[in-house]
Amino acid sequence: MVDSTFVTDSTDISIAEPAIKPHLILALDYGVKKMGMALGNSLTETARAFDILAMNNGQPDWDNLLGIIKVWGVAKVVVGLPLNMDGSSSMLSKRAHKFARRLAHRIMEQHLPVIVSLCDERLTSVAAREIAWENGWIQNEREPIDDISACILMSTYFADPHSSIAIDAIKAD
């Protein structure tokens, strides 16, 4: 057995950094009329559809949303950024940006240790509708799939967590 007080080689596993603590992540598929939600686990890198919140012209019931974050012990919120196919901003992506900044501000006011970030969500709704249709979860194309879109957003995040951008690193529009 090696006593770590005498180890000088930084590659020795006895003095390696501790493992990252698993945490719960909330993915939000932002919309003006409704917002899909999915919960993900950073340890298993799995997500499950959680809920679809009604929105009032792009504004949620803030108390309800913050309550969900508190009750579930969410450590990170990933907000979908609906970019155009060429990567440029759309009117909805600007609104999602603004929503994410407001959410980060409200979380800060509540003194919650939660990180808010944005993640590209291009084509998540198309993929969600296709998956829901194939699995018989919807019977017509007007049924809501926003929570499934949030699951796909979470999968995108898990595939490349460094592709999301923390809200504090984003300059306000």
Strand partners, 40: 25, 47
Lowest mean pLDDT among 123-132, 143-152, 154-163: 123-132
pLDDT of residue 3: 41
Chain centroid to CA 118? 7
Please check whether residue 18 is in contact with residue 44, taking contact to mean a CB–CB distance below 8 angstroms: no
pLDDT in tens, 48-76: 989 999 999 999 999 999 999 999 999 99
Torsion of CA 99, 102, 107, 109, to 10 degrees: -170
Element housing 65 (H / E): helix 62-72
Instruction: Give residue 150's pLDDT.
Output: 93
Q: Burial, 67: exposed, middle or buried (Cβ in 10 Å; 0-12, 13-18, 19+)?
A: exposed
Residues 70/154/57/100 CA torsion (nearest 10 deg): 60
Structure tokens at 41: 């686990």
Asked if residue 15 has pLDDT above 60, the reply is no
Tell me if the domain spanning 25-169 has CATH number 3.40.50.720.
no
Which pLDDT score is estimated for 4?
Answer: 39
Instruction: Give all strands (DSSP E) within 16-137, no chain letters.
Output: 24-29, 34-41, 46-54, 74-81, 115-120
What local confidence, expressed as pLDDT, does residue 116 receive?
Answer: 94
Model-wide pTM > 0.85:
no
Other Cβ atoms less than 10 A from the Cβ of 124: the count is 26
Q: Mean pLDDT lowest for which of 25-39, 41-55, 122-136, 152-166?
A: 122-136
| pLDDT tens readout for residues 76-115 | 999 999 888 888 888 888 999 999 999 999 999 999 999 9
Half-sphere exposure of 21 (CA within 13 A, CB side): 5
Read off the tokens for 20: 């990252």
Residue 22 binned pLDDT confidence (cut-offs 50, 70, 90): low
